[in-house]
Structure 1
Amino acid sequence: MDRVYLDNAATTFPKAPGVGEQMKYYIEYIGSNIKRGNYSTASSAEEVVFDTREKLCRLFNFKKPENVIFNMNVTQSLNFLIKGLLKPGDHCIVSSMEHNAVMRPLMQLKKTGVEFSRIPCDSKGRLNPEDISNQVKHNTKAVVITHASNVCGTILPIEEVGSICREKGLLFIVDTAQTAGILDIDFERAKMDALAFTGHKGLLGPQGIGGFIVTDNVADIMEPLVSGGTGSLSDSEEVPPFLPDRFEPGTLNLPGIFGLNAALSYLEKEGIENVRRREMELADMFLKGLHDMKGIALAGLEGIEGRTAVISIDFINKDNAEIAYNLEKNYGIMTRCGMHCAPSAHKTLGTFPQGTVRFSFSHFNTQKEVEYTIDAVKKVIRG
């Protein structure tokens, strides 16, 4: 095979059908900004943007399209949420499986007087929600957790955590980078206060477009990190108080939103449950192919229950980076090796500092590709 792409946890490839065409259509035939002009192409662009907000509301079971905020990606969204909500003297709770998109903003805020506690997950990446209650302090303001690990695919119990947060009066912020478009995510049922998403992973859209969803209560207390022109209230130098303008200064990535709109249409047509079923069939096939294979250690859960199709392997007594290089050079198999921007997760899983080689599947992959990859892994182990 010329190419087997198994790095979908980093960014999906291929994208959903129609994504590129929609982006090209905007650039070649629309081209206008939104909220600035009253001419027809500006109105056409605004319609697509609003339709994309509505599609995201349907996907996440949220009722207010104006509370869907667009920006570049989930990292930017988490920075907006964490830095916009936490003040000196506040305390935050996270899991030990968090990506640096959560941890680096918190480490920055720690220097200003913001505290955080890290809830230890077990060696498979599983979180016990009850452990959160034991870490709540008088100044605890929020819980921020990933929905699923980008290292090993373990899913965290966000609905149970959300219930605890609601009971304790804590803000609940969820990072859906690895699950949006793959798992059923219900904003209301999980009792979230904010949800961060990105377009280029499970949503099958282009890079450079993402965002967050917030309740009105969170929007009222959240400080905008970036401000500027919005096309609204242009006679005032104050930040607009209403959504989405309060958190959407400057020009949006409109080609990206057009592409994301096409991707969301595809997901609505295919159905999230069908996408997940196909991905997990491939993951199950891969995991069974690895079973009893000598010279490797699997990070995380051994079966398909409680996980996504993200699978990490530590090649024992071998250089994982060299293994990943050989898989690509000799077999055309593209993986992701190293720390995956989640050192705390690797420490939890026992794969720090060597990291792992990560194989992450999309429903666009095939059984033939999985069989080929299993055979290639056997060959690189033999050296």
Structure 2
Amino acid sequence: MPIYFDNAATSYPKPDAVADSMRYFMRYNGTSTGRGTYARAREAGEKVYQVRKLLCQLFNYHEPEHVVFAANVTEALNLAIRGIVKPGGHVVTSSIEHNAVWRCLKMLERDDNIQISTVPCDSSGMTDVGLIEALVQPNTQLFVFTHASNVLGTIQPIRQIGRIARQHGIPFLVDSAQTAGAYPIDIAVDCIDILAFTGHKSLLGPMGTGGLVVNCERMIRPQKAGGTGRDSISPYQPDYLPDSLEAGTLNVSGIIGLGTAVSFILDETVEVIRRKERFLTHYALKQLQALDKVIIYGPDDPGNMVGVISFNLSDTPAVEVAYILDEVYEIMVRAGLHCAPTAHRLIGTELAGTVRMSFGYFNEKEDIDIVIAALKHIISKI
């Protein structure tokens, strides 16, 4: 039976109810939200609003209208970054960002003359919070940090970072792509001003869903304009949330699927999901550490990690290892740079990349045993 260990890219499988709810909506409703006064359109609007409320419940927030839907976390991050940072501004970020943040910042550096300061981190990928204060400048307009590295699994100290941002009155944007649904996030306690999330990873929802939770009064400049279903007479995009940032027809069926997934997580509880993924990470680390010719990157403490482990077999390219695992053993892992070259630069694998195993709530200990047996066989042939 195939084994799927690429949950950091997209979680699989999903709860059965996710696809069922999407199919039911598309078959028996299928309308747009905010585009009609008839009963089905009102029902669609109410269903979308309920998903906003569910996300607020998950992240300890209180204003459903400030939950803004987007196609994915990349779109959400670009929306927030480009909507806040102005030409000549300055941004503080981590040294291990995904390209969803890093490329956006670098393009603004090239095109709008912004400045970027990256906070140093240790070899395990942990940001040194003590170095942040000195990087703040009079023109600093944003802090943006990943919550957990998609290469090393390292969970960043966002609460401490958020407090520093608050002290300076600088908005704090957090990329929760690797944590939302699998690790507790409290927008209030963690001092998060804007949380970017994606539906298709640990939130266990469908692709094409994601968004922002906006916990600040600062207006994010819209990056696109169009229909919202309200205030259509105005030639300008509305200046209130969520309409100001939700131009065009929403992915209603996808959002409904996401709501079903979030309900599943709330029923299971994030704490239970976190405990299982931490167990799987701990077990996999111990098994990998016992193998010859295996180089493991990142923390060795599953308490400081999400369910992501990067490793290499000495003298064997990462892509070759991943190919053999798939073709011979039907084990699906990721190989390469994982869209995060800055993290690979930190660990010296910018050219070689790594093999990445990433666990999800539906993986089991026995899956890891099968992978370890396969790796032992590959190593014996090296």
Name the TM-score, length of structure 2 as normaliser: 0.98
Work out the CA distance in 2 between the residues paired with 1:52 and 1:125. 34
Work out the CA distance in 2 between the residues paired with 1:58 and 1:17. 22
Work out the CA distance in 1 between the residues paired with 2:234 and 2:228. 11
Matched AA of 1:24: R
Q: How does 1:207-356 map to 2 (within 5 A)?
A: 207-218=207-218, 220=219, 222-356=220-354
> How far is the alpha carbon of 1:34 from its aligned partner?
0.9
> How far is the alpha carbon of 1:292 from its aligned partner?
3.2
Matched AA of 1:131: L
- Contact kept in structure 1, 2:194 and 2:216, CA below 8 Å: no
- Contact kept in structure 2, 1:17 and 1:266, CA below 8 Å: no
Q: Which deviates more, 33-42 or 332-341?
A: 33-42
Residue 29 in 1 paired to residue 28 in 2?
yes
Matched AA of 1:282: L
> How far is the alpha carbon of 1:42 from its aligned partner?
0.8
Which residue of structure 1 lines up, in the alignment, with residue 47 of structure 2? 48
Listed one character per residue, the Cα deviations across residues 140-172 of structure 1 (whole Å, up to 9, x for unaligned) are 111100000000100000000001111122111
Residue 186 in 1 paired to residue 189 in 2?
no
- Contact kept in structure 2, 1:67 and 1:216, CA below 8 Å: no
Work out the CA distance in 2 between the residues paired with 1:30 and 1:130. 53
- Contact kept in structure 2, 1:17 and 1:263, CA below 8 Å: no
Identity over aligned residues, as a percent? 44
Which residue of structure 1 lines up, in the alignment, with residue 176 of structure 2? 176
Residue 380 in 1 paired to residue 375 in 2?
no
Matched AA of 1:68: V
Which residue of structure 2 lines up, in the alignment, with residue 61 of structure 1? 60
> How far is the alpha carbon of 1:183 from its aligned partner?
0.7
Residue 164 in 1 paired to residue 164 in 2?
yes
Which residue of structure 1 lines up, in the alignment, with residue 15 of structure 2? 16
Q: Which runs of 5+ in 1 are unaligned?
A: none
Work out the CA distance in 2 between the residues paired with 1:238 and 1:282. 51
Work out the CA distance in 2 between the residues paired with 1:216 and 1:284. 37
Q: Which deviates more, 248-257 or 279-288?
A: 279-288
Q: Which runs of 5+ in 2 are unaligned?
A: none
Work out the CA distance in 2 between the residues paired with 1:285 and 1:253. 38
Work out the CA distance in 2 between the residues paired with 1:235 and 1:304. 54
Listed one character per residue, the Cα deviations across residues 281-337 of structure 1 (whole Å, up to 9, x for unaligned) are 111111111123211110101131201110111221111100000001111100000
Work out the CA distance in 1 between the residues paired with 2:310 and 2:215. 35
Which residue of structure 1 lines up, in the alignment, with residue 99 of structure 2? 100
Q: Which deviates more, 361-370 or 327-336?
A: 361-370
The number of residue pairs the alignment matches comes to 380
Listed one character per residue, the Cα deviations across residues 183-227 of structure 1 (whole Å, up to 9, x for unaligned) are 110111111110100000000000001000113412x2x210011
Q: Secondary structure at the match of 1:142?
A: strand
Work out the CA distance in 1 between the residues paired with 2:240 and 2:127. 37
- Contact kept in structure 2, 1:123 and 1:350, CA below 8 Å: no
> How far is the alpha carbon of 1:280 from its aligned partner?
1.3
> How far is the alpha carbon of 1:349 from its aligned partner?
2.1
Which residue of structure 2 lines up, in the alignment, with residue 371 of structure 1? 369
Which residue of structure 2 lines up, in the alignment, with residue 76 of structure 1? 75
Name the TM-score, length of structure 1 as normaliser: 0.98
